[in-house]
Structure 1
Amino acid sequence: MPQATNMQSEKSEQWNEGSTTTVLTELTFETPMPQPFPPSSLYPSPPPKLISPFDWTSRRKIFTTCLSCTVTVVSGYASGSNNAPGPVMGAAWDVSQTLLTLGTTTYCIGFAIAPMILAPFSEIKGREPVFLFSGLIFFLSQLGCALTDSFSGLLIARFFAGVGSSTFSTMVGGIVADIYRVDERNTAMAIFAGAAFFGTGLGPLVSGIIAFHLQWRWVFYVQAISCGSLTLISAIFFQETRENVLLSRNARALNQWYAKCQTLGMRGLNVDGQLQQVQWSIATKEDSVSLASLLRISLSRPLRLLVTEPVVFWFSLWIAFAWGVLYLSFGGLPLTFKAAYGFNSQQIGAVFTSMAVGALLGATVNIYLERLRPRLGNPIMSPESRLHFACLECFMFPTGLFIWAWTCRESIHWIVPSIAIAIATIGIYTIFLAVNNYTADTYHRYASSALAAQSLTRNILGGVFPLATDAMFSSMKIPGALSFLGGVALILSVVPWALLIYGPRIRARSKIANEIH
């Protein structure tokens, strides 16, 4: 026994001689936790070992996905809720229906601009703070819409509603990429895309019923209540999903724990039989940048991706046009069904059910096709693998528009153009899903920034198209206007085919995509 004591004393002396050097250790989810020396019960317990979001339990992943997709429904709901109470608000404020469309435009402007800052910010500082901040802005702005006594006040409130709700659309794609690996991501992405479109159809439907039976302000009170409740639930239950943020927080906690242990007599850590002074860090340094640098990165990264990355540019153009048509339908659908069938606001709201049904069918079909993929010998080997089904399904977008154009007339039952709208919605849904999946697979860490660039373009067109609705349908008539849109949609259907063929070569020339991998 004395001999063992002497050996331990000699080892302690040896360790003590080498204890002045601090070793900078890169922290990962696999980093083992060294043991303190000398051992003591006085030391506080070290921070718990982190688990990668990829390795979360299925229950935790499902809960995070469901919560994120629920707020996506509320975000989509808000986008089309402004049109239903339009006639009442126009009469109260002596404002034309064309000017009232600006409520949708300002919402889209806020929706387009905010992700340029918030999405990259969430990649650097974390999803959780941005999620909660956006929810608070969303709640306050919806309350402002309900309480305002002026049209200008409504436009300002709608702008901030777009700012708040934008994160729930753009960032959720990044959250899905945070917690699901490529080969298991499609179902979650399909549910997310379905939630966005289901909410878009649900907004005019529910708002039309509320506006028909209650005071117009309740259209926005209902949204404020739902948004406020979800923000509170998120504050309690939502957990950070961003890998670099989790590791950075854990590194700081470990360094603080190490400093406390040193004050209690710990001389170092036993690292593979060697006594070392350790300082933990992570590979990325973005979490330590200044606010000015952070804003510069937030604004420049999405624009850089949009301008320099052909994948982002062409997908942005494709989804932007589809999104513009979707928002044009908020005014075009009431106009066409009122002209052809004499529908009132409640009946028109009911027709918007076709959008919600189209979203549900689109999600169901895409989830089924994804599960059928292995049987067809088509595994996910590259981002282009995501486009095989989309290359065919995207033709439902122009097909639905053509059918709507030539069947929306008094001599044909209203259910036929309603089905056509559902078909077009499935096509737009497929485009949205393909864009999100392909972008997440290609850009991984910067998926939210790439999606923010696409959000900018699609929401600008989403805000502009409704302003042209009356002029387009008046000059080109219903068949001509919808056929023109269908023709453009048909031309843009070449985008996924081009990426399917040339995508690998395009990605190989991308410095950003190669840098990320």
Structure 2
Amino acid sequence: MAKHPEAGPVQEIKHQYLEFDTVLPTPRITLPPGPEQSLPPEQPCLKKYTSPYLWPKWRKAMLTCISCFSTAIAGYSTGEVSPASEELTEQWGISSVVYNLGITIFCIGFALAPMVIAPFSEVNGRRPVFIASGILFTASTIACGGSHIFAGFLVARLIQGVGASTFATVVGGVISDFYEAEDRNTPMAIYSGGALFGTGLAPLISSMIVYYTSWRWVYYSHAIAAGCLVVLMFLFFKETRGNVILREKAQALNKYYDQLEEAGHIGVVLSDKDKACRIRWKVQSDEQRASLTQMILTSCYRPFNMIVTEPVVFFFSLWIAFSWAVLYLQFAAVPLVFATNHGFNIQQTGAVFTSICVGVVLMTSISIVQEKLASRFRILPKSAEGRLYFACVQAALLPIGLFWFGWTSYSSIPWIVPTIAVGCATMGIYSVYLAVFNYLADTYHRYASSAIAAQSCCRNLLGGVFPLVTNAMFTNLGYPEASSLLGGIGLLLTLVPWILMLYGPRIRARSKLASVSVP
């Protein structure tokens, strides 16, 4: 047994669980040092191990801005491909359908990578995953710009999708790390807006780059922005995952106790005892957590199992997948319609996508204001269905925008009319995205990451497929008819939030995974 020079024998080392609110015991330090003792080491600064929920507002705002900026950078990757299609299809001797595989292959990496990345970030922390993904994303974006053959371009796009997936799927978890549920609406609205804004901004800027310079600078300029983001994350992005911060705090304390014992100051004084005890700290979540391999297997299995067994997840995944497919469809539909019926060149076609950016900014602002008003006047129920009241009305903007776009696409109608329709449809897509994310998070709690992963996988896979069929669908059916078909499907899917708003509590009560959240 170890001995303290004054207190005699002390206990063997005991491990205790550490929490953020744990009152730390006082180390047994003898001053001045006695025989066989040396000066005690300096006590570690523990301020940096504060619970993320207690961080100051400025720090939360800074991390939210960095996270949402990264989401916009990731969303930009999807739409930057289309403006160079005419030049590259001729240069590489491929059809426009084959060229659009650049979007599809990106979406495959974007959809599947989070199955591994998300659990890894929960175990090892958000910061290393973000920085590593940022470096991979930047390198692959440079590779896209430097490609000389289509096969190499596709490989680079796949890797780019893997890197971008972190910024689109893990950011929701990052925001949840330091905002309580009742405070998340504003940052989640900004996050959702970032995803759609970046997607709409890409063809707008890329078309100007292609028109005035080389298509390669579409990717080189994007890589410069991504590289700046990596520097920002390295300097200012602090770890947000609570269990990782707690683990680092336990390691810092245990290292301090080891140094104390090496200096001859053995034991700590617990609050309820006046004798020296040798303790070390551990984190309960680390012991309760499955292995990383098991977590990855669960992450790959559970989302698809929930799609099959959970009606809420299935219909919400279908709803958001269709909405996202319409968003990606616009990358091919807008150039086709405006070049054919209005004689637009590449730059002018890209300018049409300004309507997406304007629609996103408007809808983000509306979502933040209406949530604050609803909270202030308490006009919405506290249940998960409270997230759907606004979406029931606003989601109708998607089919309205599709019908509007199709039947105003004639050359005799001013170009501004279908352009506004694109913005209208985007506002509907935004409302669907925000409602789905919030409702699944509120409904499934501990299983929310799996439910969100399921809808994310579905929307990105379907979104990657739609650009392949857009030209054929709009050309064979006709612009008004193709848009009307999509509008009809969108109109049918707007029933989803109404059904859940009316029967949501009953549906959740029958679910083994969601029943814990039934009010």
**After the TM superposition, which residues 316-327 of structure 1 pair with which residues of structure 2 at under 5 Å, given as runs?**
316-327=317-328
User: C-alpha root-mean-square deviation of aligned residues, in Å?
Assistant: 2.2
Q: Mean alpha-carbon deviation: is it higher for 308-317 or for 102-111?
A: 308-317
- Measure the CA separation in 2 of the matches of 1:258 and 1:511: 45
1:170 paired residue number: 169
1:73 paired residue number: 72
How far did 1:134 drift? 1.1
8 Å contact 2:302–2:450 — kept in the other structure? yes
**After the TM superposition, which residues 427-446 of structure 1 pair with which residues of structure 2 at under 5 Å, given as runs?**
427-444=428-445
- Measure the CA separation in 2 of the matches of 1:58 and 1:464: 41
2:16 paired residue number: 25
Aligned partner of residue 284 in structure 1, secondary structure? helix
**After the TM superposition, which residues 132-281 of structure 1 pair with which residues of structure 2 at under 5 Å, given as runs?**
132-274=131-273, 275-281=276-282
Aligned partner of residue 71 in structure 2, secondary structure? helix
- Measure the CA separation in 2 of the matches of 1:12 and 1:309: 64
Aligned partner of residue 329 in structure 1, secondary structure? helix
Q: Mean alpha-carbon deviation: is it higher for 152-161 or for 292-301?
A: 292-301
How far did 1:514 drift? 6.2
TM-score (norm 1): 0.92
How far did 1:392 drift? 0.9
> Per-residue displacement from partner, 1:205-231 (whole Å, max 9, x unpaired)?
000010011111111111111111111
How far did 1:505 drift? 3.6
AA in 1 matched with 2:479: I
- Measure the CA separation in 1 of the matches of 2:511 and 2:129: 29
Q: Mean alpha-carbon deviation: is it higher for 249-258 or for 436-445?
A: 436-445
- Measure the CA separation in 2 of the matches of 1:107 and 1:150: 17
AA in 2 matched with 1:43: P
> Per-residue displacement from partner, 1:329-377 (whole Å, max 9, x unpaired)?
1101111112221111111100011111111111011111111113442
AA in 2 matched with 1:424: A
Q: Mean alpha-carbon deviation: is it higher for 435-444 or for 231-240?
A: 435-444
How far did 1:290 drift? 4.6
Taking a change above 3 Å as real, the CA distance of residues 129 and 307 of structure 1, as seen in their structure-2 partners, is farther
2:27 paired residue number: 36
Aligned partner of residue 279 in structure 1, secondary structure? strand
- Measure the CA separation in 1 of the matches of 2:511 and 2:230: 38
Aligned partner of residue 25 in structure 1, secondary structure? strand
How far did 1:189 drift? 0.7
2:46 to 45, 48, 56: 48
AA in 2 matched with 1:48: L
Aligned partner of residue 278 in structure 2, secondary structure? strand
> Per-residue displacement from partner, 1:49-87 (whole Å, max 9, x unpaired)?
532111111100100000111111111111111010111
Taking a change above 3 Å as real, the CA distance of residues 304 and 28 of structure 1, as seen in their structure-2 partners, is farther
Aligned partner of residue 84 in structure 1, secondary structure? helix
1:458 aligns with 2:455: no
- Measure the CA separation in 1 of the matches of 2:517 and 2:386: 20
Taking a change above 3 Å as real, the CA distance of residues 246 and 461 of structure 1, as seen in their structure-2 partners, is same
How far did 1:146 drift? 0.7
2:114 paired residue number: 115
Aligned partner of residue 357 in structure 2, secondary structure? helix
- Measure the CA separation in 2 of the matches of 1:270 and 1:515: 41
- Measure the CA separation in 2 of the matches of 1:395 and 1:243: 39
- Measure the CA separation in 2 of the matches of 1:37 and 1:294: 41
- Measure the CA separation in 1 of the matches of 2:104 and 2:212: 26
- Measure the CA separation in 2 of the matches of 1:134 and 1:69: 15
AA in 1 matched with 2:480: P
AA in 2 matched with 1:501: L
How far did 1:23 drift? 3.6
- Measure the CA separation in 2 of the matches of 1:57 and 1:198: 28
Aligned partner of residue 27 in structure 2, secondary structure? strand
2:303 paired residue number: 302
Taking a change above 3 Å as real, the CA distance of residues 471 and 178 of structure 1, as seen in their structure-2 partners, is same
- Measure the CA separation in 2 of the matches of 1:351 and 1:467: 21
Taking a change above 3 Å as real, the CA distance of residues 507 and 74 of structure 1, as seen in their structure-2 partners, is same
Taking a change above 3 Å as real, the CA distance of residues 326 and 225 of structure 1, as seen in their structure-2 partners, is same
Taking a change above 3 Å as real, the CA distance of residues 318 and 148 of structure 1, as seen in their structure-2 partners, is same
- Measure the CA separation in 2 of the matches of 1:507 and 1:260: 53
- Measure the CA separation in 2 of the matches of 1:308 and 1:278: 46
1:418 paired residue number: 419
8 Å contact 2:29–2:40 — kept in the other structure? no
Unaligned 5+ segments in structure 1 are 1-9
How far did 1:289 drift? 5.4
1:7 paired residue number: none
Q: Mean alpha-carbon deviation: is it higher for 42-51 or for 428-437?
A: 42-51
AA in 2 matched with 1:230: L
1:91 paired residue number: 90
1:397 aligns with 2:398: yes
- Measure the CA separation in 1 of the matches of 2:52 and 2:143: 37
- Measure the CA separation in 2 of the matches of 1:46 and 1:514: 44
8 Å contact 2:442–2:517 — kept in the other structure? no
Aligned partner of residue 81 in structure 2, secondary structure? coil
Taking a change above 3 Å as real, the CA distance of residues 119 and 305 of structure 1, as seen in their structure-2 partners, is farther
Taking a change above 3 Å as real, the CA distance of residues 184 and 348 of structure 1, as seen in their structure-2 partners, is same
8 Å contact 1:71–1:168 — kept in the other structure? yes
1:285 aligns with 2:276: no
8 Å contact 1:44–1:261 — kept in the other structure? no
How far did 1:443 drift? 4.1
- Measure the CA separation in 1 of the matches of 2:154 and 2:298: 29
8 Å contact 1:46–1:257 — kept in the other structure? yes
**After the TM superposition, which residues 485-496 of structure 1 pair with which residues of structure 2 at under 5 Å, given as runs?**
485-496=486-497
8 Å contact 1:442–1:513 — kept in the other structure? yes
> Per-residue displacement from partner, 1:194-247 (whole Å, max 9, x unpaired)?
111111110000000100111111111111111111112111210111111111
8 Å contact 2:78–2:202 — kept in the other structure? yes
8 Å contact 1:29–1:247 — kept in the other structure? yes
Aligned partner of residue 83 in structure 2, secondary structure? coil
AA in 2 matched with 1:451: I
How far did 1:487 drift? 0.7
Q: Mean alpha-carbon deviation: is it higher for 107-116 or for 281-290?
A: 281-290
8 Å contact 1:177–1:444 — kept in the other structure? no
Q: Mean alpha-carbon deviation: is it higher for 357-366 or for 243-252?
A: 243-252
Aligned partner of residue 434 in structure 1, secondary structure? helix
- Measure the CA separation in 1 of the matches of 2:299 and 2:287: 11
How far did 1:176 drift? 1.2
How far did 1:510 drift? 4.2
Aligned partner of residue 358 in structure 2, secondary structure? helix
8 Å contact 1:405–1:480 — kept in the other structure? yes
8 Å contact 1:118–1:298 — kept in the other structure? no
AA in 2 matched with 1:180: Y
- Measure the CA separation in 1 of the matches of 2:368 and 2:517: 28
8 Å contact 2:72–2:199 — kept in the other structure? yes
